[in-house]
Protein backbone atom coordinates (compact mmCIF):
# COMPACT_ATOMS: atom_id res chain seq x y z
CA UNK A 1 0.00 0.00 0.00
CA UNK A 2 1.71 3.16 -1.20
CA UNK A 3 -0.76 5.70 0.15
CA UNK A 4 1.92 8.18 1.45
CA UNK A 5 3.54 8.35 -1.99
CA UNK A 6 0.16 9.12 -3.56
CA UNK A 7 -0.34 11.96 -1.08
CA UNK A 8 3.09 13.35 -1.98
CA UNK A 9 2.14 13.28 -5.68
CA UNK A 10 -1.08 15.15 -4.87
CA UNK A 11 0.84 17.79 -2.92
CA UNK A 12 3.32 18.31 -5.75
CA UNK A 13 0.49 18.62 -8.25
CA UNK A 14 -1.47 21.07 -6.07
CA UNK A 15 1.65 23.24 -5.89
CA UNK A 16 2.18 22.98 -9.65
CA UNK A 17 -1.48 23.92 -10.30
CA UNK A 18 -1.09 26.93 -8.00
CA UNK A 19 2.05 28.09 -9.80
CA UNK A 20 0.52 27.63 -13.26
CA UNK A 21 -3.02 28.93 -12.79
CA UNK A 22 -2.98 31.56 -10.04
CA UNK A 23 -2.26 35.16 -10.96
CA UNK A 24 -1.28 36.53 -7.56
CA UNK A 25 2.45 36.65 -6.80
CA UNK A 26 2.08 35.80 -3.10
CA UNK A 27 -0.19 32.89 -4.03
CA UNK A 28 2.49 31.65 -6.43
CA UNK A 29 5.04 31.76 -3.60
CA UNK A 30 2.67 29.74 -1.38
CA UNK A 31 2.39 27.20 -4.20
CA UNK A 32 6.19 27.01 -4.32
CA UNK A 33 6.23 26.21 -0.59
CA UNK A 34 3.63 23.45 -1.04
CA UNK A 35 5.54 21.95 -3.97
CA UNK A 36 8.85 21.82 -2.11
CA UNK A 37 7.13 20.32 0.96
CA UNK A 38 5.66 17.56 -1.21
CA UNK A 39 9.08 16.69 -2.62
CA UNK A 40 10.65 16.70 0.86
CA UNK A 41 7.95 14.43 2.28
CA UNK A 42 8.45 12.05 -0.66
CA UNK A 43 12.18 11.79 0.10
CA UNK A 44 11.60 11.08 3.79
CA UNK A 45 8.88 8.51 3.03
CA UNK A 46 11.26 6.71 0.63
CA UNK A 47 13.82 6.28 3.42
CA UNK A 48 11.34 5.03 6.04
CA UNK A 49 11.71 1.49 7.30
CA UNK A 50 8.73 -0.25 8.93
CA UNK A 51 9.21 -0.37 12.68
CA UNK A 52 12.35 1.73 12.43
CA UNK A 53 14.07 3.99 14.95
CA UNK A 54 15.69 7.40 14.30
CA UNK A 55 19.34 7.21 13.14
CA UNK A 56 20.56 8.81 16.35
CA UNK A 57 22.48 6.91 19.00
CA UNK A 58 21.66 7.43 22.64
CA UNK A 59 22.24 5.72 25.98
CA UNK A 60 19.57 3.06 25.53
CA UNK A 61 20.99 1.77 22.24
CA UNK A 62 24.29 0.83 23.89
CA UNK A 63 22.43 -1.27 26.47
CA UNK A 64 20.51 -3.24 23.84
CA UNK A 65 23.54 -3.75 21.62
CA UNK A 66 24.47 -1.90 18.48
CA UNK A 67 23.50 -4.72 16.07
CA UNK A 68 19.77 -4.23 16.61
CA UNK A 69 20.28 -0.49 16.06
CA UNK A 70 22.04 -1.13 12.75
CA UNK A 71 19.15 -3.20 11.40
CA UNK A 72 16.36 -0.95 12.76
CA UNK A 73 17.67 2.55 12.01
CA UNK A 74 16.05 4.36 9.09
CA UNK A 75 18.11 5.77 6.23
CA UNK A 76 19.89 8.97 7.36
CA UNK A 77 20.92 10.07 3.87
CA UNK A 78 17.50 11.41 2.66
CA UNK A 79 17.18 13.28 5.95
CA UNK A 80 20.46 15.09 5.34
CA UNK A 81 19.35 15.97 1.79
CA UNK A 82 16.00 17.27 3.00
CA UNK A 83 17.68 19.40 5.66
CA UNK A 84 19.65 21.08 2.88
CA UNK A 85 16.54 21.40 0.70
CA UNK A 86 14.49 23.12 3.42
CA UNK A 87 17.20 25.74 3.97
CA UNK A 88 17.51 26.45 0.26
CA UNK A 89 13.74 26.70 -0.27
CA UNK A 90 13.49 29.16 2.64
CA UNK A 91 16.22 31.30 1.09
CA UNK A 92 14.45 31.22 -2.27
CA UNK A 93 11.15 32.21 -0.62
CA UNK A 94 12.82 35.16 1.13
CA UNK A 95 14.35 36.44 -2.11
CA UNK A 96 11.07 35.95 -4.00
CA UNK A 97 9.10 37.85 -1.34
CA UNK A 98 11.55 40.75 -1.57
CA UNK A 99 11.01 40.83 -5.34
CA UNK A 100 7.21 40.68 -4.92
CA UNK A 101 7.15 43.58 -2.46
CA UNK A 102 9.37 45.64 -4.75
CA UNK A 103 7.11 44.85 -7.73
CA UNK A 104 4.10 46.03 -5.72
CA UNK A 105 5.89 49.29 -4.95
CA UNK A 106 6.74 49.89 -8.60
CA UNK A 107 3.50 48.74 -10.28
CA UNK A 108 0.82 49.01 -7.59
CA UNK A 109 -0.48 45.51 -8.24
CA UNK A 110 0.44 41.89 -7.60
CA UNK A 111 -1.40 40.37 -10.59
CA UNK A 112 1.00 39.02 -13.19
CA UNK A 113 -1.38 39.85 -16.06
CA UNK A 114 -1.62 43.51 -15.09
CA UNK A 115 2.13 43.92 -14.54
CA UNK A 116 2.59 43.10 -18.20
CA UNK A 117 0.50 46.07 -19.33
CA UNK A 118 1.73 48.82 -17.05
CA UNK A 119 4.73 50.95 -17.85
CA UNK A 120 6.84 52.34 -15.09
CA UNK B 1 1.64 46.35 21.50
CA UNK B 2 -0.26 45.87 24.75
CA UNK B 3 1.28 45.30 28.17
CA UNK B 4 0.45 41.59 28.12
CA UNK B 5 2.34 40.98 24.89
CA UNK B 6 5.32 42.96 26.14
CA UNK B 7 5.51 41.08 29.44
CA UNK B 8 5.08 37.66 27.88
CA UNK B 9 7.67 38.27 25.20
CA UNK B 10 10.11 39.64 27.76
CA UNK B 11 9.73 36.39 29.70
CA UNK B 12 9.73 34.14 26.63
CA UNK B 13 12.80 35.47 24.79
CA UNK B 14 15.46 34.19 27.26
CA UNK B 15 13.81 30.75 27.22
CA UNK B 16 13.92 30.67 23.43
CA UNK B 17 17.57 31.68 23.41
CA UNK B 18 18.36 28.99 25.99
CA UNK B 19 16.65 26.29 23.92
CA UNK B 20 18.51 27.53 20.86
CA UNK B 21 21.84 27.30 22.70
CA UNK B 22 21.01 23.72 23.76
CA UNK B 23 20.07 22.74 20.22
CA UNK B 24 23.25 24.22 18.75
CA UNK B 25 25.75 22.94 21.32
CA UNK B 26 24.28 19.41 21.26
CA UNK B 27 23.90 19.34 17.49
CA UNK B 28 26.26 16.39 17.08
CA UNK B 29 24.75 14.36 19.93
CA UNK B 30 20.98 14.78 19.77
CA UNK B 31 18.75 15.95 16.95
CA UNK B 32 19.13 19.54 15.90
CA UNK B 33 22.10 21.57 14.77
CA UNK B 34 23.24 24.97 13.68
CA UNK B 35 20.42 25.69 11.28
CA UNK B 36 17.55 24.92 13.63
CA UNK B 37 19.12 26.86 16.49
CA UNK B 38 19.94 29.79 14.23
CA UNK B 39 16.35 30.07 13.02
CA UNK B 40 15.17 29.92 16.64
CA UNK B 41 17.51 32.81 17.56
CA UNK B 42 16.12 34.82 14.64
CA UNK B 43 12.56 33.99 15.81
CA UNK B 44 13.37 35.27 19.32
CA UNK B 45 14.49 38.62 17.93
CA UNK B 46 11.47 38.77 15.62
CA UNK B 47 9.23 38.27 18.68
CA UNK B 48 10.98 41.24 20.29
CA UNK B 49 10.43 43.30 17.13
CA UNK B 50 6.71 42.46 17.16
CA UNK B 51 6.34 43.35 20.83
CA UNK B 52 8.56 46.43 21.23
CA UNK B 53 8.93 47.80 17.74
CA UNK B 54 11.82 47.89 15.30
CA UNK B 55 13.57 50.91 16.82
CA UNK B 56 13.97 49.28 20.22
CA UNK B 57 15.58 46.16 18.76
CA UNK B 58 17.74 47.96 16.25
CA UNK B 59 19.28 50.07 19.02
CA UNK B 60 20.53 46.81 20.55
CA UNK B 61 21.31 44.71 17.44
CA UNK B 62 22.14 47.09 14.65
CA UNK B 63 21.97 46.33 10.94
CA UNK B 64 25.76 46.59 10.49
CA UNK B 65 26.31 44.20 13.39
CA UNK B 66 24.00 41.71 11.70
CA UNK B 67 25.92 41.96 8.45
CA UNK B 68 29.25 41.53 10.24
CA UNK B 69 27.95 38.55 12.25
CA UNK B 70 26.62 36.90 9.10
CA UNK B 71 29.94 37.26 7.31
CA UNK B 72 31.78 36.06 10.40
CA UNK B 73 29.74 32.85 10.41
CA UNK B 74 30.54 32.04 6.79
CA UNK B 75 34.22 32.87 7.38
CA UNK B 76 34.40 30.59 10.42
CA UNK B 77 33.05 27.68 8.36
CA UNK B 78 35.55 28.17 5.54
CA UNK B 79 38.54 28.69 7.85
CA UNK B 80 37.64 25.62 9.92
CA UNK B 81 37.46 23.62 6.70
CA UNK B 82 40.78 25.02 5.45
CA UNK B 83 42.65 23.91 8.60
CA UNK B 84 42.69 20.39 7.19
CA UNK B 85 44.59 21.56 4.11
CA UNK B 86 47.17 23.35 6.27
CA UNK B 87 48.06 20.09 8.00
CA UNK B 88 48.43 18.18 4.74
CA UNK B 89 44.98 16.60 4.42
CA UNK B 90 42.02 17.60 2.30
CA UNK B 91 39.31 20.26 2.55
CA UNK B 92 36.74 19.37 5.27
CA UNK B 93 39.10 16.86 6.90
CA UNK B 94 37.65 16.27 10.34
CA UNK B 95 38.98 13.55 12.67
CA UNK B 96 42.78 13.39 12.40
CA UNK B 97 43.20 17.13 12.53
CA UNK B 98 40.58 17.85 15.17
CA UNK B 99 40.45 15.68 18.31
CA UNK B 100 38.12 12.68 18.34
CA UNK B 101 37.08 13.27 21.96
CA UNK B 102 34.72 11.07 23.95
CA UNK B 103 31.52 10.29 21.99
CA UNK B 104 28.45 11.51 23.81
CA UNK B 105 30.08 14.54 25.41
CA UNK B 106 29.88 18.12 24.17
CA UNK B 107 33.52 18.35 23.09
CA UNK B 108 33.59 15.39 20.78
CA UNK B 109 33.29 14.64 17.07
CA UNK B 110 36.06 17.03 16.06
CA UNK B 111 34.98 20.15 14.23
CA UNK B 112 31.21 19.59 14.11
CA UNK B 113 30.62 22.03 16.96
CA UNK B 114 32.63 24.75 15.17
CA UNK B 115 30.62 24.26 12.00
CA UNK B 116 27.37 24.36 13.97
CA UNK B 117 28.33 27.65 15.63
CA UNK B 118 29.32 29.19 12.30
CA UNK B 119 26.08 28.05 10.70
CA UNK B 120 24.13 29.52 13.63
CA UNK B 121 25.81 32.91 13.13
CA UNK B 122 25.18 32.86 9.39
CA UNK B 123 21.55 31.72 9.48
CA UNK B 124 20.30 33.82 12.40
CA UNK B 125 21.87 37.06 11.17
CA UNK B 126 20.78 36.39 7.57
CA UNK B 127 17.09 36.01 8.42
CA UNK B 128 17.22 38.92 10.85
CA UNK B 129 18.77 41.22 8.22
CA UNK B 130 16.17 40.18 5.64
CA UNK B 131 13.40 40.82 8.19
CA UNK B 132 14.82 44.29 8.97
CA UNK B 133 14.67 45.12 5.28
CA UNK B 134 11.12 43.87 4.88
CA UNK B 135 9.76 45.64 7.93
CA UNK B 136 11.56 48.94 7.24
CA UNK B 137 10.15 49.03 3.73
CA UNK B 138 7.55 51.72 3.23
CA UNK B 139 5.09 51.25 0.43
CA UNK B 140 4.64 54.20 -1.85
CA UNK B 141 1.59 54.47 -4.05
CA UNK B 142 1.53 56.63 -7.13
CA UNK C 1 -0.18 -4.48 17.61
CA UNK C 2 -3.10 -2.44 18.90
CA UNK C 3 -0.82 0.58 19.29
CA UNK C 4 0.51 0.15 15.76
CA UNK C 5 -3.04 0.14 14.37
CA UNK C 6 -3.82 3.44 16.07
CA UNK C 7 -0.51 4.80 14.82
CA UNK C 8 -1.34 3.90 11.21
CA UNK C 9 -4.84 5.35 11.51
CA UNK C 10 -3.50 8.66 12.86
CA UNK C 11 -0.83 8.70 10.15
CA UNK C 12 -3.37 8.28 7.34
CA UNK C 13 -5.76 10.84 8.85
CA UNK C 14 -2.93 13.38 9.03
CA UNK C 15 -2.01 12.67 5.40
CA UNK C 16 -5.59 13.33 4.25
CA UNK C 17 -5.74 16.47 6.40
CA UNK C 18 -2.53 17.64 4.73
CA UNK C 19 -4.08 17.49 1.25
CA UNK C 20 -7.23 19.27 2.47
CA UNK C 21 -5.18 22.06 4.06
CA UNK C 22 -3.08 22.43 0.89
CA UNK C 23 -6.25 22.88 -1.19
CA UNK C 24 -7.55 25.45 1.33
CA UNK C 25 -4.26 27.38 1.17
CA UNK C 26 -4.42 27.49 -2.63
CA UNK C 27 -8.10 28.43 -2.90
CA UNK C 28 -8.54 31.03 -0.12
CA UNK C 29 -9.04 34.55 -1.45
CA UNK C 30 -7.87 36.30 1.72
CA UNK C 31 -4.08 36.06 1.72
CA UNK C 32 -3.68 36.64 5.46
CA UNK C 33 -5.92 33.64 6.22
CA UNK C 34 -4.02 31.61 3.63
CA UNK C 35 -0.71 32.39 5.37
CA UNK C 36 -2.10 31.35 8.78
CA UNK C 37 -3.50 28.10 7.31
CA UNK C 38 -0.06 27.52 5.78
CA UNK C 39 1.34 27.69 9.33
CA UNK C 40 -1.07 24.94 10.46
CA UNK C 41 -0.05 22.96 7.38
CA UNK C 42 3.59 23.31 8.50
CA UNK C 43 2.75 21.86 11.93
CA UNK C 44 0.96 18.87 10.33
CA UNK C 45 3.86 18.12 8.02
CA UNK C 46 6.27 18.41 10.97
CA UNK C 47 4.20 15.81 12.86
CA UNK C 48 4.38 13.53 9.81
CA UNK C 49 8.18 13.85 9.73
CA UNK C 50 8.26 12.93 13.40
CA UNK C 51 6.12 9.84 12.77
CA UNK C 52 8.45 8.86 9.92
CA UNK C 53 11.33 8.72 12.45
CA UNK C 54 13.05 11.90 11.30
CA UNK C 55 13.26 14.16 14.39
CA UNK C 56 15.90 16.38 12.78
CA UNK C 57 13.63 17.29 9.91
CA UNK C 58 10.61 17.64 12.20
CA UNK C 59 12.47 20.22 14.29
CA UNK C 60 13.59 22.10 11.18
CA UNK C 61 10.14 22.05 9.60
CA UNK C 62 8.36 23.30 12.70
CA UNK C 63 10.88 26.07 13.37
CA UNK C 64 10.90 27.19 9.74
CA UNK C 65 7.30 26.57 8.72
CA UNK C 66 5.67 28.11 11.78
CA UNK C 67 8.22 30.64 12.94
CA UNK C 68 10.15 32.44 10.27
CA UNK C 69 8.02 31.63 7.22
CA UNK C 70 4.80 32.91 8.82
CA UNK C 71 6.54 36.04 10.12
CA UNK C 72 8.06 36.96 6.76
CA UNK C 73 4.86 36.18 4.82
CA UNK C 74 2.67 38.22 7.21
CA UNK C 75 5.00 41.19 6.88
CA UNK C 76 4.94 40.83 3.10
CA UNK C 77 1.11 40.72 3.09
CA UNK C 78 1.00 43.82 5.29
CA UNK C 79 3.24 45.66 2.83
CA UNK C 80 1.10 44.65 -0.17
CA UNK C 81 -2.55 43.78 -0.79
CA UNK C 82 -4.48 41.55 1.58
CA UNK C 83 -7.24 40.36 -0.74
CA UNK C 84 -6.53 38.62 -4.00
CA UNK C 85 -7.76 40.66 -6.95
CA UNK C 86 -10.33 39.25 -9.31
CA UNK C 87 -8.91 37.44 -12.32
CA UNK C 88 -9.33 39.19 -15.66
CA UNK C 89 -10.56 35.97 -17.30
CA UNK C 90 -9.09 36.59 -20.70
CA UNK C 91 -6.72 33.66 -21.13
CA UNK C 92 -9.14 30.86 -20.28
CA UNK C 93 -7.60 28.58 -22.90
CA UNK C 94 -4.20 28.72 -21.24
CA UNK C 95 -5.77 27.92 -17.88
CA UNK C 96 -7.68 24.95 -19.27
CA UNK C 97 -4.50 23.64 -20.90
CA UNK C 98 -2.61 23.97 -17.60
CA UNK C 99 -5.33 22.11 -15.68
CA UNK C 100 -5.39 19.35 -18.29
CA UNK C 101 -1.60 18.98 -18.12
CA UNK C 102 -1.69 18.81 -14.32
CA UNK C 103 -4.44 16.18 -14.32
CA UNK C 104 -2.67 14.00 -16.90
CA UNK C 105 0.62 14.27 -15.00
CA UNK C 106 -1.17 13.36 -11.75
CA UNK C 107 -2.65 10.20 -13.25
CA UNK C 108 0.68 9.10 -14.74
CA UNK C 109 2.60 9.75 -11.51
CA UNK C 110 0.00 8.03 -9.31
CA UNK C 111 0.17 4.88 -11.42
CA UNK C 112 3.99 5.00 -11.41
CA UNK C 113 4.13 5.44 -7.67
CA UNK C 114 1.60 2.71 -6.91
CA UNK C 115 2.87 0.01 -9.27
CA UNK C 116 6.57 0.70 -9.90
CA UNK C 117 7.88 1.81 -6.54
CA UNK C 118 8.87 -0.49 -3.64
CA UNK C 119 6.20 -0.85 -0.97
CA UNK C 120 6.08 1.81 1.72
CA UNK C 121 8.23 0.82 4.67
CA UNK C 122 10.58 -1.48 2.76
CA UNK C 123 13.31 0.70 1.21
CA UNK C 124 15.61 -0.77 -1.40
CA UNK C 125 18.57 1.62 -1.23
CA UNK C 126 21.34 0.52 1.06
CA UNK C 127 23.72 3.49 0.87
CA UNK C 128 22.66 4.86 4.22
CA UNK C 129 23.61 1.61 5.94
CA UNK C 130 27.30 2.52 5.68
CA UNK C 131 26.74 5.81 7.49
CA UNK C 132 24.69 4.19 10.25
CA UNK C 133 27.31 1.53 10.92
CA UNK C 134 30.46 3.65 10.68
CA UNK C 135 29.46 7.03 12.10
CA UNK C 136 30.75 6.24 15.59
CA UNK C 137 34.10 4.97 14.26
CA UNK C 138 34.71 7.65 11.65
CA UNK C 139 33.42 10.82 13.24
CA UNK C 140 32.55 10.08 16.85
CA UNK C 141 29.19 11.82 16.70
CA UNK C 142 25.99 10.22 17.96
CA UNK C 143 23.76 12.06 15.50
CA UNK C 144 24.21 10.39 12.11
CA UNK C 145 22.35 13.15 10.25
CA UNK C 146 24.58 15.86 11.69
CA UNK C 147 27.65 13.84 10.83
CA UNK C 148 26.52 13.43 7.20
CA UNK C 149 25.64 17.11 6.92
CA UNK C 150 28.97 18.44 8.18
CA UNK C 151 31.46 15.64 7.64
CA UNK C 152 30.68 13.10 4.92
CA UNK C 153 28.96 15.58 2.64
CA UNK C 154 30.42 18.86 3.81
CA UNK C 155 30.70 20.40 0.35
CA UNK C 156 26.94 20.08 -0.05
CA UNK C 157 26.29 22.04 3.13
CA UNK C 158 28.91 24.64 2.25
CA UNK C 159 27.03 25.26 -0.99
CA UNK C 160 23.76 25.51 0.94
CA UNK C 161 25.27 28.12 3.26
CA UNK C 162 26.47 30.14 0.29
CA UNK C 163 23.01 29.93 -1.32
CA UNK C 164 21.47 31.43 1.82
CA UNK C 165 24.20 34.09 1.89
CA UNK C 166 23.48 34.98 -1.74
CA UNK C 167 19.70 35.06 -1.18
CA UNK C 168 20.11 37.76 1.45
CA UNK C 169 22.45 39.65 -0.88
CA UNK C 170 19.59 39.55 -3.42
CA UNK C 171 17.27 41.10 -0.82
CA UNK C 172 19.89 43.81 -0.22
CA UNK C 173 20.25 44.51 -3.91
CA UNK C 174 16.48 44.73 -4.41
CA UNK C 175 15.90 47.21 -1.59
CA UNK C 176 19.17 49.15 -2.08
CA UNK C 177 19.04 51.25 1.08
CA UNK C 178 20.32 50.26 4.49
CA UNK C 179 17.35 50.11 6.86
CA UNK C 180 19.04 52.36 9.41
CA UNK C 181 18.76 55.38 7.13
CA UNK C 182 15.53 57.30 7.30
CA UNK C 183 15.42 58.81 3.83
CA UNK C 184 12.91 57.82 1.17
CA UNK C 185 13.93 55.12 -1.29
CA UNK C 186 14.66 56.64 -4.66
CA UNK C 187 12.61 55.57 -7.63
Contact (CB<8Å) A86/C110:
no
- Using an 8 Å CB-CB cutoff, list chain B residues near C176: none
Given CB atoms, is C156 within the 8 Å cutoff of chain B?
no
The residue of chain B with its CA nearest to that of C183 is B138
Q: Could you tell me which chains touch chain C, where touching means 3 or more CB pairs under 8 A? A: A, B
Interface test with C, best of A39, A71, A83 (most C CBs within 10 A): A83
- Using an 8 Å CB-CB cutoff, list chain C residues near A73: 132, 144
Judge whether A19 and A106 are in contact, CB under 8 Å. Answer: no
- Using an 8 Å CB-CB cutoff, list chain B residues near A54: 31
Give the pLDDT confidence of A32-58 residue by residue, as tens digits.
999 999 999 998 888 888 878 888 887
Dihedral of the alpha carbons of C153, C159, C165, C168, in degrees to the nearest 10: -110
Q: For residue C143, give the nearest of B21, B24, B99, B16 by alpha carbon.
A: B24
Residue B141 resides in a domain: no
Give the pLDDT confidence of C52-102 residue by residue, as tens digits.
888 889 999 999 988 899 999 998 888 888 887 776 666 778 888 888 999
Given CB atoms, is C84 within the 8 Å cutoff of chain A?
yes
Interface test with C, best of B60, B68, B109, B139 (most C CBs within 10 A): B109
Give the pLDDT confidence of C90-139 residue by residue, as tens digits.
677 888 888 899 999 999 999 888 888 888 878 887 788 888 888 888 77
Compute the C-alpha angle A33/C159/A19, nearest 5°.
20
Q: What is the phi/psi pair of residue C159, to 5°?
A: -65, -40
- Using an 8 Å CB-CB cutoff, list chain A residues near C122: 49-50
Total domains in chain A come to 1
Residue B142 resides in a domain: no
pLDDT tens by residue, chain B, 142 residues: 788 988 998 899 999 999 999 998 888 888 888 889 999 999 999 999 988 888 888 888 888 898 899 899 989 988 888 888 888 888 887 777 777 777 777 777 778 888 889 999 999 999 998 888 888 877 555 4
Cβ-based contacts under 8 A for chains A and C: 252
C-alpha B80/C-alpha B73 separation (Å) is 11
- Using an 8 Å CB-CB cutoff, list chain A residues near B123: 87
Q: For residue B40, give the nearest of B98, B127, B114 by alpha carbon.
A: B127
Given CB atoms, is C50 within the 8 Å cutoff of chain A?
no
- Using an 8 Å CB-CB cutoff, list chain A residues near C67: none
The residue of chain B with its CA nearest to that of A120 is B142
Domain of A23, CATH number, reads 1.10.287.3510
C-alpha C80/C-alpha C78 separation (Å) is 6
C-alpha B66/C-alpha B58 separation (Å) is 10
C-alpha C83/C-alpha B98 separation (Å) is 55
Question: What is the extent of the structural domain holding A98?
Answer: 3-117
Task: Using pLDDT thresholds of 50, 70 and 90, give the confidence band for residue A31.
Answer: very high
- The number of residues making up chain C comes to 187
Contacts of A101 (CB under 8 A, 6+ apart): B134, B137, B139, C76, C79, C80
Residue B103 resides in a domain: yes
Give the pLDDT confidence of A105-119 residue by residue, as tens digits.
877 778 877 776 655
Question: What is the extent of the structural domain holding B126?
Answer: 3-136
Q: Which helix (H) or strand (E) holds A57?
A: none
- Using an 8 Å CB-CB cutoff, list chain C residues near B141: none
Nearest-neighbour CA in chain C from A64: distance (Å) = 15
The DSSP output letter for C73 is H
Nearest-neighbour CA in chain C from B24: distance (Å) = 11
Tell whether the model's pLDDT for residue C179 goes beyond 60.
Answer: no
Contact (CB<8Å) B139/A83:
no
C-alpha B68/C-alpha B131 separation (Å) is 16
Beta bridge partners of B99: none
Q: How far is CA C154 from CA A80, B27, B97, in A?
A: 11, 15, 16
Contact (CB<8Å) C155/B29:
no
Judge whether B132 and C159 are in contact, CB under 8 Å. Answer: no
Amino acid sequence: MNFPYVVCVFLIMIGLYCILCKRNLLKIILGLIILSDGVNLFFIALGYKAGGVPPILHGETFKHGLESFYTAAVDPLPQAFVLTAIVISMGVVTAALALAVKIYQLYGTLETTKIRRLKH
Amino acid sequence: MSLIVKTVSRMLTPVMLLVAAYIILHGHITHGGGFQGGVLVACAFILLIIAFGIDYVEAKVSFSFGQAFRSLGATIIIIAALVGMVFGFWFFKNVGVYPYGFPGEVFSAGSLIIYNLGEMANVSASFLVAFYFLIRFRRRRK
Amino acid sequence: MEALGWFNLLFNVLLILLVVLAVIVVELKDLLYAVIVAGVYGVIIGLLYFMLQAPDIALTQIVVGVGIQTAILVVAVSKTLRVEEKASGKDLGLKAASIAAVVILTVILVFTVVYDFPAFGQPVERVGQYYVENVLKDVGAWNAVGAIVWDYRGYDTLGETLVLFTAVIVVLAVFKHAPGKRDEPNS
